[in-house]
Structures are given as C-alpha cells and as structure tokens.
Homo-oligomer: A and B are copies of this chain.
Amino acid sequence: MTKSGRPRAFDKEAVLDAAMDVFWEKGYEACSTEDLCNRTGLGRGSLYNAFGSKHELYEQALDRYHVYWIREQTSILESSEPVKTRLRNFLEWAIEKDFEADSKGCLLINATMERGRTDSTVERASMLHAEKLEKLFGEIIQEGIDSGELSAELSVTESARTFLCSFYGLRTINATMRSRDMAEQIVAGTMRFFN
C-alpha cells in the first residue's frame, strides 16, 4: 500500500545526483543551501523535508558517489584482460577522468582533504572506498601471481597498498600539476614496478 499525503514531485535519485554535483564542484563549505535548491530544483521546504539538513544530504551524496564509482572501477579491474593490462587501464581511466572537460577530480579525495579530520561521515565514506579498492587490487595481484604473470616474490598486500598509493598520488598530482604528459609518465613508471 502506498502512503497517503501529497505525492513527491521529484525523483530522489536525480536530486541526489544534482546535489552530489554541487558538493563535488564547490566543496561542502562553499556550497550554500540556496545553491542546492537551485541545482536540484527543490524549494527549501521540500529539501529540508526530504533530507533533514545540508549535512544529511551531503552524507547521502557521498554514499551515492561511492556506490556509483566503485562499480565502474570494479568493472575495469575485473575485466578479462591480463592483470597488468587491467592495472594500467585503471590508471589510464583515472587520467581520462582527471583531464576531461570541467573535471572535478575525485569527490571523496576532495572531501577528505577539506573535512576528513573533522567529519566522521567523510572519514567513513573515504575509508570504505579505499579499502574496497585495496581489496580489489590485492585480489587481482594474487591472480597475477597465481597465473605466473606477476613475480611470485611480490608481497600481495604490500603491492596492493603501493598501487593504491600510486592511484591516489596520480589523482592528487593531476589536480596539482594538470599535466597529462606528467600523468602518462607516472603511469609508465608505476607499471615498471610490476614486471
């Protein structure tokens, strides 16, 4: 049975996507509730009725970001290509994202640097994302060792964590230097590690 009362005039997921975009673009502090109303198309009343507060909306936007992108990242890492190709593709994917028009980098990294030390919601979402990536890296590095594609002398967790570091470093360097050439050289250097 449907609940009674006036029905919602908006799609909650579309609103979350719009809110996510604004937080992504401006950061949490620089994003006003008026910005959120403008971009979502909701009035103040509707927005507060549906989400409670700016911070709760932020929370849901971060969760949505995590769920959406971990799926895309997983699909790259679990393709049927050789392990080394998959790792390289993953870094190349990051470069594509960081250098497409109006790129905003990674919302979770941005959020961590802006608020990670003081906002447990940010801390939680970012840590969860990084842990899932680390696990994925570990699994396919193990797969590479098992198949003989990677050296059996590699420590799986050490390699997975080092690759995780390279990935986060690449995104941070891209935000800092905005040099695609540099990014490509970093990928080349990083992949030289896995041989």
Residues of A within 8 A of B (CB): 27, 29-30, 104-105, 109-110, 112-117, 126-127, 130-131, 155, 157-159, 161-162, 164-173, 175-178, 182, 185-186, 188-190, 192-193
Contact = CB atoms under 8 A, between A and B. Distances in A.
Contacts of A161: 173, 182, 185-186, 189
A115 B168 CA distance: 18
A116 B176 contact: yes
A185 B158 contact: yes
A114 B112 contact: no
Nearest to A129: B176
B109 A114 contact: no
Nearest to A122: B176
Nearest to A106: B113
Chain B CB within 10 A, most for which of A109, A168, A190: A168
A164 B173 contact: yes
Given A29-B29, A117-B104, A168 B173 contact: yes
B177 A127 contact: yes
Closest 9 CB pairs of A and B: A169-B169, A162-B189, A113-B113, A29-B29, A165-B169, A168-B172, A168-B169, A165-B186, A110-B113
Contact of A113 (B105, B188, B193): B105
A165 B162 contact: no
A140 to B, nearest CB: 16
6 contacts: A112-B175, A113-B114, A117-B175, A164-B173, A168-B176, A192-B193
